[in-house]
Amino acid sequence: MTGGTTSLSGMNVVGRGASASTSRTVLITGVSKGLGRSLALELAKRGHTVIGCSRAQDKLNALHNDLSSSADSNSSSSDKHLLLNADVRSNSSVEELARIVMEKKGVPDIIVNNAGTINRNNKIWEVPVEEFDTVMDTNVKGTANVLRHFIPMMITRKQGIIVNMSSGWGRSGAALVAPYCASKWAIEGLTRSVAKELPEGMAVVALNPGVINTEMLASCFGNSAALYQAPEAWALKAATMILNLTAADNGASLTV
């Protein structure tokens, strides 16, 4: 239902409409807050079509309104974006996500695997097993689920860029966040391996966003997180970098 929310095969859909002919179509997971939200808004301002997913329906509704108001003046429709309620931790949920995306928007030009979470500061032997599993299920399995269902779609077009959000802690270690570090090291290795499996014309990269003032950073750094740049400032640089990625970047570990 245009401009609203409707149920489709167990998933909630926000927004519909054909993308503008000049628009790149970008799928962003974990789009309802933090880096994903800021990146979506920046891309919309530049006239690109955003497809996003999150588990938080209320935040998806709010983002849909903001995306519509952020659409550039050249956009043929302020309602061209598509936001879906989906859980990347669930393979069946991502499978349904891929089906709806293909039906409504076709194959994305760019995918940003942004959905992620972090454990509460704790030594590894004090991290609850459920919390460890949530970090791995979201950060690693969630990314793998998206790759599993969207790469075959991209291969049919023999083009597409995939950005797997990594971290500085995916290239180094830090006390009290071992599960998160392990998950991002896994993203680095997964990305390099998948890069060797992709056909020519496609690329997958691991992207370290840098240190940004988000809820996740605040959970680690406390009040000092406010000393770092806001997601909105980060998105200005990140959007340009992501839009300029090419097949020549396949397998790279990059930093904004």
Least confident of 5-14, 150-159, 201-210: 5-14
User: Who has greater pLDDT, 128 or 76?
Assistant: 128
User: Who has greater pLDDT, 38 or 5?
Assistant: 38
Domains in the chain: boundaries: 5-255
CA–CA separation, 118 vs 194, rounded Å? 24
pLDDT tens digit string along 106-127? 999 999 999 999 999 999 999 9
| 249, 203 Cβ separation under 8 angstroms | yes
pLDDT at residue 18 is higher than 80: no
- Of 132, 150, 169, 180, which residue is the catalytic one? 180
The 3-class secondary structure across the chain, one letter per residue, is CCCCEEEECCEEEECCCCCCCCCCEEEEECCCCHHHHHHHHHHHHCCCEEEEEECCHHHHHHHHHHHHHHCCCCCCCCCCCEEEECCCCCHHHHHHHHHHHHHHCCCCCEEEECCCCCCCCCCHHHCCHHHHHHHHHHHHHHHHHHHHHHHHHHHHHCCEEEEEECCHHHCCCCCCCHHHHHHHHHHHHHHHHHHCCCCCCEEEEEEECCCECCHHHHHHHHHHHHHCECHHHHHHHHHHHHHCCCHHHCCCEEEC
Residue of 251, 230, 248 lying closest to 38 (CA atoms)? 230
> Average of pLDDT values for 15-22?
39
**Bridge partners, residue 208, by sequence:** 255
With b for 16 or more beta-carbon neighbours within 10 A and e for fewer, the 222-242 pattern comes to eeebeebeebeebbeebbebb
Residue 77: pLDDT band with limits 50, 70, 90:
low
pTM (2 decimals)?
0.88
Share of the chain above pLDDT 70, in %: 87
Retrieve residue 56's tokens: 């938080």
At residue 22, the pLDDT reads 58
pLDDT tens digit string along 178-235? 999 999 999 999 999 999 999 999 999 999 998 887 777 677 878 887 877 788 999 9
At residue 222, the pLDDT reads 85
Residue of 35, 44, 33 lying closest to 80 (CA atoms)? 44
Q: Note the Cα 180 to chain centre separation in Å.
A: 17
What CATH fold (topology level) applies to the domain 5-255?
A: Rossmann fold (3.40.50)
User: Who has greater pLDDT, 24 or 5?
Assistant: 24
User: Who has greater pLDDT, 186 or 21?
Assistant: 186
Measured from the Cβ of residue 169, the count of other Cβ atoms closer than 10 Å reads 19
Q: What is the gyration radius of the CA atoms in the chain, in angstroms?
A: 17
Any idea how long the chain is? 256
Active-site residue 228, yes or no?
Answer: no
> Average of pLDDT values for 25-31?
98
Residue 1: pLDDT band with limits 50, 70, 90:
very low
